[in-house]
Structure 1
């Protein structure tokens, strides 16, 4: 008990992030804290354990033997603490709970309205906090317990992360009507010769469309890469730009009075859109309710 009095939970979370990332800056990103704050936490941890924990060798940071010995017991302790704090029962009608989700613009547009309608009716005391991040960052946040649920496409995941398919989805291209032939159909050569818009968290990202093109030895010109779905649609009118996105995202566009949807002249495999969570949450009644609420809200 005396040892517990000397170290708080925030320091344990900082230690966990530092052990995983082996880098102060990356740990600060995981924790959503400033780099100086994490550096200060590292200094406190070094003093507490009387060990440097992280040392530089061959140009990179490495864990000391003491730090290595802390990885598993710390993970087990955090998992146990998470289970201790989870309610044995969950009554959504009276529950007071805050869930942390990571959703893209796409998911926010097609799922969030239905999800919030469901929550306001079924669980008025439940609050939702939403962030947006890359696929890699979301997985890291799930592993570290910073997120309850992440939505996206997850082709490869650590064994600790579980997934459930919310729906299956295909692609559609969108362009200004005035820039298309009368029937609104473009040949593959014409489609490839046009400038394209790509919605991605990083400008250099490789998405499902790029992978489909690459597999056929083809390439398109990305004239605009941006992370915002709504802006990607709004730049189309009056231009020769083409945006290729998931079909459900384009289903209710008001701007389609001036825009036209058409099938891309290339085979792009459909994808499974999923919700992902850490397996430590599998049996948490509140989390089970949240996953079911998300599944319900995702149906057309």
Structure 2
């Protein structure tokens, strides 16, 4: 790195925004600066780090390897600086931050109506963007600073790679089977469970499944006939077919029964934790902390947990 002047410290939030947005105009809007000012700052940053940092690629600017190396230490340094200069009392009404959250449509159905209502009433200047990433991508996005919060089921948090992440339990849920009663009686047996085709819900093709892991431990394997990324679409695929859907019980509460029936799993599988998780660099971020509290309150209000 070339000689860093005290005035250059003001460039670091610009670098953070550029890496996150990967577009000069969007970064300028995020920072409330002019596009020429951000372009000039990028030129100075390239000189300081002796690296292009962002280069043109498919879909816009792409960070270089050096820029990606800077994401974590940059985020931690800026979070610390912001925690030092933040006012002692956080004013939600004046907070104009833009937060990016990852959650499936299952989580969105449960949490978003109450969460958005809270944000509109208490933090009307705050903006939220919701994406639906698979488990591995969501964790990677948290680590890279691409998103601010991930809501869902993340077994990886128990692994060594999750040491930089923090999480808080929102509620516990369990699995149940949904099937068409004209095709099968209630409760469903393990024999029929294994011989029938299944619908599997997974955002990413290779996301781990607690159900398949539990069956593998018992020496069994089910046939996945259809895989879809959305919980909300899955129940209608079961109606009038021989398919079985194994899903979170809460996601089945709103189903119009008709011939559809719900049954306990025909094998042992414990409940699972539904959590919100974030990178430790956000730990002292007052606005981020307010948002986490709002997510927890939404879960409590909706489910009474």
So what's the TM-score if we normalise by structure 1? 0.75
SS at match of 1:190: helix
So what's the TM-score if we normalise by structure 2? 0.74
Equivalent-residue separation in structure 1 for 2:153 and 2:262 (angstroms): 23
Aligned residues: 269
Cα deviation, 1:100-138, whole Å, max 9, x if unaligned, reads: 211111101111122223333333333221111122222
| Distance change >3 Å, CA 105–CA 277, structure 1 → 2 | same
Corresponding residue to 2:177 among 160, 173, 177: 173
SS at match of 1:156: helix
SS at match of 2:188: coil
* Maintained 8 Å contact 1:163/1:275: yes
Residue 12 of structure 1: how far off its partner (Å): 5.6
**2:121 matched residue in structure 1:** 121
**1:294 matched residue in structure 2:** 295
| Distance change >3 Å, CA 177–CA 117, structure 1 → 2 | farther
**1:39 matched residue in structure 2:** none
Equivalent-residue separation in structure 2 for 1:94 and 1:283 (angstroms): 18
* Maintained 8 Å contact 1:87/1:284: no
**1:107 matched residue in structure 2:** 107
User: 1:91-240 maps to which residues of 2 (within 5 A)?
Assistant: 91-157=91-157, 158-181=162-185, 184-240=186-242
| Distance change >3 Å, CA 150–CA 242, structure 1 → 2 | same
Structure 2 gap segments, 5+ residues each: 24-41, 54-63
| Distance change >3 Å, CA 33–CA 124, structure 1 → 2 | closer
* Maintained 8 Å contact 1:202/1:226: no
**1:21 matched residue in structure 2:** none
* Maintained 8 Å contact 1:170/1:246: yes
Residue 76 of structure 1: how far off its partner (Å): 4.8
| Distance change >3 Å, CA 249–CA 79, structure 1 → 2 | same
**1:20 matched residue in structure 2:** none
RMSD: 3.6
* Maintained 8 Å contact 2:102/2:131: yes
